Structure formats: structure tokens, C-alpha cells
Amino acid sequence: MLRKNCTLIFTTLLLCACAESDVQSSAQSASGSASQSVVETFKMVTTQNGDCPTPQIWIGEKPDMITLDKIRDETPWTYRVYQKGDMITMDYVATRINLVTDESGIVTDIHCG
């Protein structure tokens, strides 16, 4: 019974982790300069206070993979995108930016952890 429950929990977590990576890639045609300005904003926020940046520019927008990859590659921050109500791990990662989306992929909340 315990093994069956553990398997069920693991499978559920695995499926949820896969769902997090369902970020809109349609914006890959976005210009590099727009992505760079977002990355520069992250760097500026980081150097000013050292806290996890939560730029509000994504509220009401769909995050694009080009910008998210630049942030991951050029700053100490990682990111996680998930839909409100999704099951996620509760581990706290101080350098992780959480982008919470609605059903259509629009960011409704940004927080660290």
C-alpha cells in the first residue's frame, strides 16, 4: 500500500514538473534587444539590494523562452513557470523567480522562492 501511494505521488509530481516547462515558445521570434533590457533590469535589481528580483513587467504578459533563458544564463536567478492551482514542490530556493500564470499563460503573480 505504501509503495503504491509513493508511486502515485512520484508520478503526480513528475507530471506537474513537466507541466511547468510548458512556457509559451511562440515569442521566440521576439527581438534580442527586448530580452536584453529585461536581463539588464534583473542585473540592476540584483546589484542594488541583492534580493530576488520580481519585475512587474511580466504581469499581464506571456513569458517567452528567449528572455527566460537569458535570465538563467546571464544572472544568478533561476525561474519556474506554473499555472495557479498547479501542484508544485514547496522547497524554498532563494534565487528562484516564480511566474504564476492563468489558464491562458498570462502571468498574474511573480514571487521568489
pTM: 0.56
What's the number of domains the chain is made of? Answer: 1
Q: Per residue of the chain (113 residues), what is the pLDDT tens digit?
A: 555 544 545 445 544 444 444 433 333 333 344 445 556 655 555 544 556 776 777 788 887 888 788 777 877 788 889 999 999 998 988 888 888 999 998 989 888 88
CATH number of the domain residue 103 falls in: 3.30.10.10
Q: Which domain holds residue 82?
A: 2-112
Secondary structure (H, E, C), the chain: CHHHHHHHHHHHHHHHHHHHCCCCCHHHHCCHHHHHHHHHHHHHHHHHHCCCCCCHHHCCCCCCHHHHHHHHHHCCCEEEEEECCCCCCCCCCCCEEEEEECCCCCEEEEEEC
